[in-house]
A and B are shown apart, each in its own frame.
Chain A
Amino acid sequence: MKTKEFKWHILFIVIILIALYPIIYAVSTSFKSLNESFNNILSLIPEEPTTSAYQRVLSIIPFFKITLNTFIIASIVTLFKLITGVLAAYSFVFLDFKGKKWLYFVLISTIFIPFTVTMIPNFITISRLGLKDNIIGVAIPQLADATGIFLLRQHMRGVPKSLLEVAKLEKTPHVTILRTIVVPIIRPAILSMGIIFFINSWNEFVWPSLILKSTENYTLSLALQMFVSAEGGTDIPVAMAISVLTMLLPLVIYAFCQKFIINTFAQSGIKG
């Protein structure tokens, strides 16, 4: 029995090593010199650790501006997705209106619409608004999120009915119920949704690549793309350095809010 289980533990440890290897490889290579990156491929500890790759990143691209762009877009998107999501979810759970089920079905269905279907019209809309090559143009189409509404609705359904009955008997207005009862109860869910929205937006590539054209308006993922070609270009350490800088924030957030994030993600599937 024990030995039987042992082999599964080995299996999982191997999978984890495969999952972590690219991260460790990126960090290790980013501290190698250009020369070492070609000659000392397998060692995960650089012989002569150097930050020269990071210095090159700073000299090639306006790194702080680009990080700030990424941060601003992610913050706007997160804030609005939460506000629009909480309001809509409240309406779907606690209020009655005609066509509720139908509207909910239609909104949730959009999760399955491939982005190529909306890409051209959205590109035209943003261009006409004069927001091309502008980080606001990246954020605007993403101010609401179907998955967010779906998950927030699931959490709101978990709010004890008795609390709401009392509030209704006291004729508490819905805005107050939302603010003083519902939001405080589902605060952990809202927070973890926020973290997920933020990380997803931080990592986003396709839509920003259509809108942003000049390097100073780039996001991190776009800047990263400057260092790639099919066979990888030649400067591995610099490509790894900017990769590390891009994944740093999501992984740090994960390190601190790991339980939170895992719970929210795990729930996203059960019902949907």
Chain B
Amino acid sequence: MVNKVPPKKHKKLRQSKREQLLAWTFILPALAVFLVFMFWPLAYTFYLSFFKWNMVAPTKTFVGIKNYISLLKEKVTLQLFLNTLLYILILVIFNFVIPYILAFINTFMMKKKAKSIYKVFIFMPSLISLVVGAIVLQWIFNPISGPVAAVLSKFGITIPSWSKTQGLVIVVISLVATYKAFGYNFLVLLAGVGSVSTELIEAARLDKTPYRKIFTQIVRPITSSSAIYILIMSIVQGMQYVFTPIKVLTQGGPDNASSNIIYGGYKEAFTFYDTGRSSALSIITMIIFLVMLFLEFKYVEKGVYYEN
């Protein structure tokens, strides 16, 4: 007996070593891609944010935190942040609040079988390229020859040229992002809301609890993990979704009215060739996103990942 223990242990140890090796071999292909195109770039962008460079010059000049200071001093940066806030506000309402409420209505306030067909069609636009969405919506909202203008002109209303109007330009560009994200967000929230037990809702209904209360006091707490995921995606992914229509339709104009911190970072790099300022702005953006990520893991991780 005593003799047999060490070899067994030894074998087990060897086995676990082999398993470790195998595990890393399996992960290596994915990890290699992430190292070269995600983690190294992350570090390099951070490094670049302390230098003045134009991507082609042989030397980079160290400028310390000058890039950050010059960015934070400028009025344009303030405008980028305010625009970003407006984008976030619109995206949160259209891509999160509305789909959330609709998911609730679809799950608990409708009984007919037809309701499951709806999601099939609502999801459809999520498969369409953002460039297609941008180009088609741009024509639909065209102030002269678009259908919206054509309908409104019958009532004697003329619509302003949205791409030249402060504020309105952000609304229309957000709609392109909404067109892309709405169906997906609805679907995810629908799955989340669908996981709430029907008996719970039935019981509340028997107690004559109004639907508004059922939503805020029963469904919202239970579905908070899906909700926080979609809320964060509406912001983080939404900011990147609006990039395409900005790039394709307005290039941030008129006079930066439609630009945001993501597009600003892009423009610094590929229009002005100022990698330092671009990187600094990207790092600031990432820090803002990381704060949201922290919230995500604080709330979502706790309740969900570790449940099984």
Residues of A within 8 A of B (CB): 4-5, 8-9, 11-12, 15-16, 19-23, 25-26, 29, 37-38, 41-42, 83-85, 87-88, 90-92, 95-98, 100, 103, 107, 109-110, 112-125, 140-144, 146, 149, 157, 174, 199, 202-203, 205-206, 209-210, 220-221, 224-225, 227-228, 230-232, 236, 239-240, 243, 246-247, 250-251, 253-254, 258, 261-262, 265-272
A sample of 8 cross-chain residue pairs with beta-carbon separation below 8 angstroms, ordered by A number, consists of A15-B118, A19-B125, A95-B19, A96-B20, A174-B19, A205-B131, A269-B192, A269-B230
| Partner pick for A230 among B130, B163, B300, CB 8 A cutoff | B163
| Interchain CA distance A123-B273 in the complex, whole Å | 12
Task: A121-B40, A272-B304 are known; give 12 further A-B pairs, CB within 8 A.
Answer: A15-B102, A22-B137, A109-B293, A121-B44, A174-B19, A203-B127, A203-B130, A224-B129, A232-B142, A239-B139, A270-B195, A271-B225
**Contact residues in B for A240 (Cβ distance below 8 Å):** 136, 139
Where chain B touches its partner, the secondary structure class is helix
Question: Judging by beta carbons under 8 Å apart, are B145 and A116 in contact?
Answer: no
- Please indicate the chain A residues that have their CB under 8 angstroms from the CB of B230 in the complex: 269
In the complex, A26 Cα to B140 Cα: how many Å?
A: 9
> In the complex the two chains form, what is the Cα distance from A42 to B151 in whole Å?
8
Interface SS, A side: helix
The answer, yes or no, to whether B132 is at the interface (CB within 8 Å) is yes
B132 touches A224 (CB 8 A): yes
Q: Is the CB of A12 within 8 A of B118?
A: yes
CB within 8 A of B26: which of A88, A109, A119, A120? A88
Q: Using Cβ atoms and an 8 Å threshold, which residues of chain A touch B126? A: 265
Known: A114-B239, A205-B130, A231-B163. A270 touches B124 (CB 8 A): no
Interface bits B222-257 vs A (CB < 8 Å: 1, else 0): 000110011010001001100110011110010000
Residue of A nearest to B300 (CB): A272
